[in-house]
Structure 1
Amino acid sequence: MFLHRVSRQLLTANTVFSVKTLRCLNIAFGRFETEIIDKWKQKFASENVSEIENSIKYILEHVIEQKETLTERKNDQKITLTKEQLNRFEQLCECRMARMPVQYIIGEWDFCDLELKMRPPVFICRPESEELVELILQQCDDKLTMRFLEVGCGSGAISLALLHSLPKAQCIAIDQSGYACNLTLENATNLELNGRIKILKHKLTNESEIPEVEGKLDLIVSNPPYVPTNDLKVLAPEISLYEDLRALDGGPDGLNIIRYILTFASKRLKLQGHLWLEVDPSHPPLIEEYLQENKSNLNLKFVAAYKDMFGKDRFVEIMKI
């Protein structure tokens, strides 16, 4: 089920799309350090914390990298943690015991080969969104200029990954959360992409326009809130306690914001411009039916649904006609 799978992916995004190799638990530690690690494995298990090994790997790597790079060490060298490092490791493990996602604990995460800062309550980018970026890039010419809009930018992951691969692209990114807008700007600045992105605090509604968006757009992309409201009750604590639920709540059927995006896209996409959505696997046929019923008003064509790495219909491509 999607809600349970999301909680797992909060920890495994980089084990699916590995950007840096995590070798920390394969390197020999001193006896005292090993005892500390084993203690936390047992504590995590007693509290049913998910992804125990990965949690410890990421936290331990983060702590050690404050002083040294693990990959520069030889496998026969033992690592002895300083008192400060041990204290820090235990502090961060306490955060994980409280079900804080690892991304928030270490304050960063890799997405499409970009290192992004992460802070609660901004929505954490999932590995499926990397697949969405790949699908879009397959249809884009990096030699051409283009303008695109992202609805619900969160940390800026999708927008910045596209800008990184499309050097002539310009982006407008909107989010209803000021925290998300600030984090997107910080990540854009760190990646030296802030000159090609305009970030706006804006909540899209069925009647909303975005005055700052002038003219027509080549592309619109969104990983919108699509979890049905009633399903928010059974979210994993990693999500319900720390992430902004507005980034997840899609209304009774999970399609509220998606319908707003379709209305906006019908007005602001260029002819043959594309809208890309990341959705719940149950949504593609519902979206296709909605577009067919409103074809004369929206002038949007359902092009295709694409499966994610788990074989679920996760992405929808729509074209302005």
Structure 2
Amino acid sequence: MFLQKLSRQLLTANTVLNVNTLRCLNYGLNTALGKTETEIIEKWKQKFAKENIDEIESSIKHILHHVIDKRETLTDKKDDQQIILTKEQINRFEQLCECRMARMPVQYIIGEWDFCDLVLKMVPPVFIPRPETEELVELILQQCDDKLTMRFLEVGCGSGAISLSLLHSLPKAQSIAIDQSEYACKLTLENAKNLQLNNRIKVIKHKLTNESELPMIEGKLDLIVSNPPYVLTHDLKKLEPEISLYEDLRALDGGPDGLNIIRSILTFASKRLKLQGHLWLEVDPSHPSLIEEYLQENKSDLNLKFVACYKDMYGKERFVEIMKI
């Protein structure tokens, strides 16, 4: 049932299915009882290594824990505490490992992922939130008073990771989340309901452009945040198969210089942010200086001030803070 449902989801989302993917979706296996976690892990380590699968141990652990319904890491258990897998668990585990062999991201395979303090449902082809984006949320929260009411907009909500994390930590906040993908909007709403945050978020299917006014959003905003498409178009061909085969490339393609959507966000922010309201962006490391230059050149039209750039966990300039003046 899982693989049939996954197959329908991928086909509905117009995901490219190659031979490996079809092998994943139609895979079946009969295995003897009595195999321990150690034996299973070693077998798939070798198979993943032959296929040059990234993050081998992490992928195996996440899939195994999903199958046995345990969220603690394997390293938390002593050697003599290994679990004997049932035949059904072994078959399930090996089916899902075949999906990973087909380069399907582990987040889609297990159907969920941790982000900040939340567990979010993941469904292809909706963009998978990255660890760096958790840093963006933390930067924003450092400057927000959780005792004050506020209203913010997220541009390109995907799974709802940013909006829902902010709402979770800011009990008096209200969010509007927009995305051009219907799949993303539905997933954001589902995650919001699962987390009982749906009464504080409004999700709108909309593609932001320079002409966007969003008349359905009344008044000024305290904050705008976005992890927008910022990959340069000519760099899309360099993406790993996990991304190019399964994720919605519209959530990544930022145009020739990677700034197409970002310029639209800046125009919108200049009109809809409150005075001294803030815009936060996650961008390519080459973008902060270009954005600062763009704001200087268009200062009289945009009335936006480049406040600061912050580095991510890898030391790359990744996050930009801008203020309405």
Fold match (TM-score > 0.5): yes
SS of match in other structure, 1:99: coil
Q: Does the aligned pair in 2 maintain the 1:224–1:278 contact within 8 Å?
A: yes
Matches within 5 A, 1:1-16: none
One-letter amino acid of the structure 1 residue matched with residue 172 of structure 2: K
How far apart are 1:248 and its partner, in Å? 0.2
Unpaired runs of at least 5, structure 1: 1-29
Give the AA of the match of 2:291. I
**Secondary structure class of the residue paired with 2:307:** strand
* Number of the residue aligned with 2:124: 120
Give per-residue Cα distances to partners, 1:179-198, cap 9 Å, x unaligned.
Answer: 00000000000100000000
Of 143, 146, 164, which residue of structure 2 is paired with 1:142?
146
Paired residue secondary structure (1:311) = coil
1:240 paired residue among 229, 241, 244 = 244
Q: What pairs with 1:71-110 in structure 2 (closer than 5 Å)?
A: 76-110=80-114
Question: Displacement of 1:54 after TM fit?
Answer: 0.8
Distance 1:66 1:112 in 2: 19
Q: Secondary structure at 1:272's aligned position in 2?
A: strand
- Contact 1:142–1:165 (Cα < 8 Å) also in 2: yes
Equivalent residue number for residue 309 of structure 2: 305
5+ unaligned residues in a row in structure 2: which ranges?
Answer: 1-33
Between the aligned partners of 1:272 and 1:266, the Cα distance in structure 2 is 11
> 1:275 Cα shift?
0.2
Note closer, same or farther for the CA distance 1:74–1:234 as it changes in structure 2 (3 Å cut): closer
What secondary structure sits across from 2:80 in the alignment? coil
Q: Does 1:282 align with 2:286?
A: yes
1:319 aligned partner: 323
Identical amino acids, percent of aligned pairs: 85
The reply to whether residue 131 of structure 1 matches residue 135 of structure 2 is yes
SS at match of 1:239: helix
160-169 or 73-82: bigger deviation: 73-82
Instruction: Supply the AA of the counterpart residue of 2:187.
Output: L
2:65–2:72 contact (8 Å) kept in structure 1: no
**Runs of 4 or more off by more than 6 Å in structure 1?**
66-74
Q: Which of these residues, 199, 203, 212, is aligned with residue 203 of structure 2?
A: 199
TM superposition shift of 1:78? 3.1
**Letter matched to residue 46 of structure 1:** K
Asked if the contact 1:62/1:106 (under 8 Å) is kept, the reply is: yes
C-alpha displacement of 1:97 = 0.2
Instruction: Give the equivalent residue in structure 2 for 1:188.
Output: 192
Tell me the distance in 2 between the aligned counterparts of 1:73 and 1:222. Answer: 39
Q: Are residues 69 and 102 of structure 1, via their aligned partners in 2, closer, same or farther at CA, if it must alter by over 3 Å? A: closer
| 1:241-270 CA-partner distances (Å, limit 9, x unpaired) | 000000000000000000000000000000
Letter paired with 1:229: T
TM-score where L is the length of structure 2:
0.87
Residue in structure 2 matching 1:269, options 254, 269, 273: 273
Query: What are the superposed Cα offsets for residues 76-131 of structure 1, whole Å, 9 maximum, x if unpaired?
Result: 33311000000000000000000000000000000011000001000000011110
* SS of alignment partner, residue 61 of structure 2: helix
**2:260 equivalent to 1:259:** no
Shift of 1:33: 4.8
Counterpart of 2:81 in 1: which secondary structure? coil
TM-superposed CA distance for 1:66, in Å, is: 7.1
Aligned residue among 57, 65, 68 for 1:64? 68
Query: SS where residue 76 of structure 1 aligns?
Result: helix
Superposed CA RMSD? 2.0
